[in-house]
Amino acid sequence: MYHQHTIYVIVDAKAPQNNPITKKYSQFFLALVIDYDRDEIVDSECSATVGLTNRFVQSLFTGQKIDDDMIEENIRNRYHGSSQKALIVAFNEAKNKYIQAKAALSTST
């Protein structure tokens, strides 16, 4: 399904205690598939309790460059769920994890 030039990263962040995501999963998870030739997010998924939330979050990421500063701004401006902070934290952690993974990949080849 995903070509050889992709990296998968998954991270977690703390969501508010009263959030249904916390009750169901205990953490907020964000998974990204990133094309490392183009630094483009090709797919994403999060631990949402509502399918629409997952599809909306996917629309915030898919097709975007991982280092685009507008992603975080789009989350702040467009995603008004109770796990907004968790999503921002998870995205920044995923970006850092991706940078490390890509660096490790380039040193091993």
20's CB contacts (< 8 A; 6+ apart) are 49
pLDDT for 33 equals 98
Name the β-bridge partners of 93.
Answer: none
Domain ranges of the chain: 6-108
pLDDT tens digit at each of 109 positions of the chain: 899 999 999 999 876 566 555 555 567 899 999 999 999 999 999 987 778 989 999 999 999 999 999 999 999 999 998 889 999 999 999 999 999 999 998 887 5
Helix (H/G/I), strand (E/B), else coil: 79: coil
Which pLDDT score, from 0 to 100, does residue 15 have? 66
Residues shown for the chain: 109
Secondary structure of 2-61 in HEC code, one letter for each residue:
CCCCEEEEEEEECCCCCCHHHHHHCCEEEEEEEECCCCEEEEEEECCCCHHHHHHHHHHH
Residue 21 is predicted with a pLDDT of: 56
So what's the pLDDT on residue 107?
82
SS3 65: strand
CATH architecture under which domain 6-108 falls = 2-Layer Sandwich (3.30)
What pLDDT was estimated at residue 47? 86
